[in-house]
Amino acid sequence: SQLINQIAAGEVVERPASVVKELLENAFDAGADQIQVDIEQGGLRLIKIRDNGSGIDKEDLKLALARHATSKIASLDDLEHVASMGFRGEALASISSVARVSLISRKHDADCAWKIVADGREVDTEPQPDPHPPGTTVAVQDLFFNTPARRKFLKSDKTEFGHIETLIKRMALSRFDVGLTLTHNQKELLKLKPALDVKTQQQRLAHVLSADFIANAVACNSAASEMQLTGWIGLPAFSRSQQDMQFFYVNNRLVKDKLVAHAIKQAYQDVLHLSRHPVFVLYLSVDPALVDVNAHPTKLEVRFREGRLVHDFLFSAIHKTLADVRP
């Protein structure tokens, strides 16, 4: 039923930033290397994401918004199951049950783009032609317009936009190959070119973290038999030490993990006697069999099969990197 769909949507669409996350992932999946994100009023009024990816066929447009698993959700137990498994094939359907969604898309070999609109109900109109270039634009307006109880849980535009900005920064550091533009209320806040060489990568780091991060950071590159760590770590001269400047990716997925935080902090304390929050952008590659990232798809948790091993590897990698640069 529509009610169940809306409850299900509540599980995946917690706030505007969760919509942005799903739409960005779809654009990445479509192979886009240029993505434009336009936000109005913290995402409550508008979230618009345009990509130059593969596009969707006219015939598949309605399907993209159609429900698959949620239509089978009959009880709260089912709902819990879906929430813990992730909403594969459900994001657009869920979003379109709680917002006014327009979807415009054009395959690269198609003569024109096609557009459909959904406003909280199943789409019952045919796609209309549209002059959109190859790729896809999804516009999500008036989030939770038909679920006022949900809408009441949202914070101010500023707070909601803050969540979106944090998310975009995390995504920007996980996909250097994709160009990203972000506007809020028509003001351009971020414009990142695809960063394929070291120089543009450093520019991106400067934009996302701060200009003096690169001047006061050291590259980290360490490998053990089953693990590899790359990235950058901040030196004490980089004064803007804040907890929100800690980026740690496991197999390119951002995670927040106590064990990771502990290993890094210990290394900083050991070498530099630094007790502030260290700043880092680190990428850990591990055998996927050693890590369980599916704990909850919308959370940032991770479970390592060999926690001790990971901890010790991280500690010695950071320790060595810091010890090498210490005068």
CB of 68 to ligand ADP, least distance (A): 8
Beta bridge partner(s), residue 254: 249
The beta strands (E) that lie in the chain are given as: 34-40, 46-51, 100-106, 113-119, 128-130, 135-141, 179-184, 187-192, 217-223, 227-234, 246-250, 253-254, 280-286, 291-292, 303-304
Residues that bind Mg ion (CB under 5 A): 26, 91
Among 26, 52, 210, 321, binds ligand ADP (CB under 6 A): 26
**Among Mg ion, ligand ADP, none, residue 136 binds (CB under 5-8 Å by kind):** ligand ADP
Stretch that binds ligand ADP, among 54-62, 142-150, 248-256, 312-320 (CB under 6 A): 54-62
How many residues in the chain?
327
Instruction: Give the residue with the Cβ less far from Mg ion, 134 or 297.
Output: 297
Q: Are 118 and 63 a contacting pair, CB within 8 Å? A: no
Q: What backbone torsions phi and psi does residue 217 show, to the nearest 5 degrees? A: -130, 160
Position 233, amino acid? I
Binding partner of residue 251 among ligand ADP, Mg ion, none, CB cut-off 5 to 8 Å per kind: none
**Residue 276 CB coordination number (10 Å):** 14
Residues between 72 and 101 with contacts to ligand ADP, criterion CB under 6 A: 88-93
Q: Should residue 22 be labelled a site residue for ligand ADP when binding is judged by CB under 6 A? A: yes
By CB under 6 A, is residue 6 in contact with ligand ADP? no
Are 260 and 248 contacting, i.e. CB atoms less than 8 angstroms apart? yes
Q: Given the complex with ligand ADP, which of 131 and 148 has the nearer CB atom?
A: 131
Is 52 a residue that touches ligand ADP (CB under 6 A)?
no
What does the binding site for ligand ADP look like in residue numbers (CB under 6 A)? 22, 26-27, 29-30, 51, 53-56, 64, 88-93, 136
